[in-house]
A and B are shown apart, each in its own frame.
Chain A
Amino acid sequence: MLPAPDISDDDLTLRLRVGDEDAFTFVFRRWQGPIFRFALHVSGNRTLAEDATQEVFMTLIRQTANFDSAKGKLGAFLFGIARNQVLKRLERERPYTALEPNWEESSDLRAESASRSGQSDDEARAAVIENVRQAILLLPPDYREVVALCDLEEMSYDEAAVALGCAAGTIASRLHRGRALLAAKLRKARMPQANKSAPAIPRSTRNLLSPMAAKFQAQKAPK
C-alpha cells in the first residue's frame, strides 16, 4: 500500500468534506495501520480488529462533518471511534470467548522448551516479545488501551486523552499502573521461581492489582 503524501490532516479533512476521493485514500493509508494495530493489541483478535478498522472508516465517511479539528486531531478522533468499536465488539463476543489458559504457566513452558532446545537469541527474544503481547492482553481494558496507545503507538498523553475521552492526568496514572502490572506479569512469567523469595510486584503497585491479578498471585504463592 503506497504511503500517503505529506499533506496535513486538516487539509485532508477539508478535502474529505467536499467529496475528494483521493483525500479519503490518503487518510486511509495514513491511519489504517495504527488503527488496525491498536484494535489488534486491545482485542487480540485479527478478524475483530479488521472489522473494527473498517467500521472506523465507514464512520468517518458517514460523519465527516462531525469532526471538529479545533477539538483534537484527526488521529485522536479515529482512535476514539476505534476504541468504541473494539469495546462494543468485545462486549458482544464475551459470552463466546474461550477461557484464558494459565498464561504464566504456558509462558514458563515456552521458556523452558526454548532453553532446552537451544534456540537462538532472536528466537528466544521473539518468544519473550510474544509473552509481552499476551501480558498486554491480560491487562484490564482501561490500562490495556492506554499502553497500546502511548507505548505501542507512541501517542502523546494529550492525544490519548482526546481519543479516550478523559484527562491527560488520568492517562498518565493509568499508564503508570499499566506498566507496573505489565512488569509484574512479565517478571512472574520469566522468573517463576523468584516469587518464592522476592516480591513479584513493586511496592507501589501492590494495592492496584485487579481482583483477577490478586487471585492469580494467590494461586502462585507457595503454600
Chain B
Amino acid sequence: MNCEQFEQLAPQIAHNELRDGKAMQDVTNHAAECGACEAILVEARELAGLVASLAAQDKLLEVPARMESSLRAAFVRKHTADARSRKNVFVGATFRVCVATSKSAISTAFSECRFVATKRLTAFYEKHKLWKSRLSHRLFRWAAVSLVAAAIILAVVLLPRILNRKPEVDRAAATPAQSASPAVSGTKIVQAPTAVERVPQKRLATAHKPKKNLAEPETTLTGFLALPYADDLSTIEYGAIVRLQMSRSDLAWLGLPVPISDTGEKVVADLFVNGSGTPEAIRLVR
C-alpha cells in the first residue's frame, strides 16, 4: 500500500467504515512504517471525533414546541377537508351510477307514456292559448270601459264649468257702464238702453228660452208685465218662466189691477222669476 492509497482509506478507518480485514491490516502496517501517513490517520480520527462531538452537542436541538400544535391543527384541517371531499365524491359517484342504471328504465317508461304525455301537453297548450286569448279579450274590454268612464267623468266635471264661465270681455265692459250711471240704475225707467245693457237680456232670452207652447204669442193674452215691486228687468241676469194656475186674488196680491170675484175661476199665467225665486213679471195666458 502506498501513501495515496492510505490517504483514501484513512477517513474510512477514522469513521469505522472500513469492513475489509485485509485492507485494515495493510493500513495499519503502512501507518507503522510511514510517519506522515500516521499523522494523517491521527488527524482523520481527530476530525471524526470532533464531528461526532458536534453531532452529540446538537443532538438535543429541536424545533419550538408550538410548531407541533400548529402542525397537528393543520393535519386535522386537511383530513377533515379530505373526508368532506371524499364524501362529496362518493355522493357524486353514487348519483352518476344511479342515473346511468336508471337511464334505460326512464327512456322505456318515457316511450311508453309518450303518446299520453304528448296528448296531455297538447291539451295543456291549447288551454294555455285559450286562456291567453280570453285574457287579452278581457283586458281589451276593461280598457274600453275605462276609457268611456274617463270620458264621462271628464264631461260631467268640465262641461258645467265651461258653460258657466263668464266671458272676460262682458265682465270687463259691464263694470265701467255700471259705475258710469249709478243714479239711473236705481230708477225703473228704462230708456235708451245701451248696447252693454242689452247683452244680459239677449243672454236671458237665449239661456232661458221658453218652451214653444209657452212662448207662442197666440196663446198669451198679454205680454210680460213688470210687477210693481220688481227690479229693472234689464239688470236681471238669470231667471225662469213658470206656468201657474192662479186665482184672481193671487193676481191681485201680486198687484195686478183685476176685479176680485168669488167664482173661483183660475187663470193660467206665466211668472218670470229671478235667480232667487222672486217673481219679477207675469204674463197671462188664458
* Contact (Cβ within 8 A) A54 B63: yes
Residues 22-46 (chain A) with a chain B CB within 8 angstroms = 24-25, 28-29, 32-33, 36-37, 40-41
Interface residues of A in 194-221 (CB under 8 A from B): 202-204
What mask results when residues 121 to 154 of chain A are scored 1 for a CB within 8 Å of chain B, else 0? 0000100110011001000000000010001111
**B55–A132 CB distance below 8 A:** no
* Residue numbers in B under 8 Å from A179 (CB-CB): 11, 44, 47
B57 contacts the other chain (Cβ, under 8 Å)?
A: yes
> Are the C-beta atoms of B71 and A28 separated by less than 8 Å?
yes
Asked whether A62 is an interface residue with its Cβ less than 8 Å from the other chain, the reply is yes
Q: Which of A5-13, A72-80, A94-102, A182-190 contacts B (4 or more CB under 8 A)?
A: A182-190
Residue total for A at the interface (Cβ-Cβ under 8 A)? 41
Tell me if A204 and B63 are in contact (CB < 8 A).
no
Alpha-carbon distance A53/B48, docked complex (angstroms) = 27
Check: B233 CB closer than 8 A to any chain A CB.
Answer: no
Query: Are B58 and A132 within 8 A (Cβ)?
Result: no
Determine if B43 is an interface residue (Cβ-Cβ < 8 Å): yes
**Given A19-B82, A50-B64, A53-B63, A40 and B58 contact (CB-CB distance below 8 Å):** yes
CB atoms of B82 and A132 under 8 A apart: no
Chain B residues lying within 8 Å of A40, measured Cβ to Cβ, are 58, 61
Main secondary structure of the interface of B (DSSP, over half): helix
Binds A, one of B2-10, B117-125, B129-137, B211-219: B2-10
Q: Can you list, as one digit per residue, whether each of B196-214 has a CB less than 8 Å from chain A (1) or not (0)?
A: 0000000000000000000
Does B173 reach chain A (CB closer than 8 Å)?
A: no
Contact of B40 among A28, A132, A147, A202 (CB under 8 A): A202
B162 located at the interface, meaning its Cβ lies under 8 Å from any Cβ of chain A in the complex: no
CA distance A132 to B64 in the complex (A): 25
CA of A1 to CA of B64, assembled, Å: 10
| B78 touches A (CB below 8 Å) | yes
Q: Say yes or no: is B62 at the interface (Cβ < 8 Å to chain A).
A: yes
Least CB distance from A159 to B in Å reads: 14
Q: What separation, in Å, do the CA atoms of A29 and B75 have in the docked complex?
A: 14
Given the known interface contacts A36-B61, A53-B63, A132-B50, the answer about A61 and B75 at a Cβ–Cβ threshold of 8 Å is: yes
- Contact: A29 with B47, CB < 8 Å? no
Cβ-defined partner of B43 (8 Å) among A58, A129, A132, A187: A187
**How many angstroms from the CA of A62 to the CA of B7 in the assembled complex?**
46
**B55 touching A53 by the CB < 8 A rule?**
no
Pair A186/B47 contact, Cβ less than 8 Å: yes
Of residues 18 to 59 in B, which have CB atoms within 8 Å of A's CB atoms? 40, 43-44, 47-48, 50-55, 57-59
- Please, how many angstroms separate the alpha-carbon atoms of A179 and B75 in the complex? 40
* B11 engages A180 (CB within 8 Å): yes
On whether the beta carbons of A33 and B50 are closer than 8 Å, the reply is no
**Which single residue of chain A is at the shortest CB-CB distance from B44?**
A183
- B236 at interface by CB-CB < 8 Å: no
Most chain A CB inside 10 Å of its own CB: which residue of B63, B78, B82: B63
| A110 touches B (CB below 8 Å) | no
Closest to A175 in B: B11
Q: Are B68 and A151 in contact (CB under 8 A)?
A: no
A37→B67 contact, CB < 8 A:
no
Given A1-B68, A21-B75; A186-B63 close (CB under 8 Å): no
Query: In the complex the two chains form, is B4's CB within 8 Å of A203's CB?
Result: yes
A174 at interface by CB-CB < 8 Å: no
Binding site for A on B (CB under 8 A): 3-4, 7-8, 11, 15, 40, 43-44, 47-48, 50-55, 57-65, 67-68, 70-72, 74-76, 78-79, 82-83
* 17 A–B pairs (Cβ distance < 8 Å), ordered by A: A1-B62, A1-B68, A33-B59, A37-B58, A37-B59, A50-B64, A61-B75, A62-B78, A129-B54, A133-B54, A136-B54, A151-B48, A151-B55, A176-B8, A183-B11, A203-B4, A204-B4
- Further 10 A-B residue pairs, CB within 8 A, beyond A28-B68, A61-B75: A19-B83, A32-B63, A58-B71, A129-B53, A132-B50, A136-B54, A151-B15, A179-B47, A182-B47, A202-B40
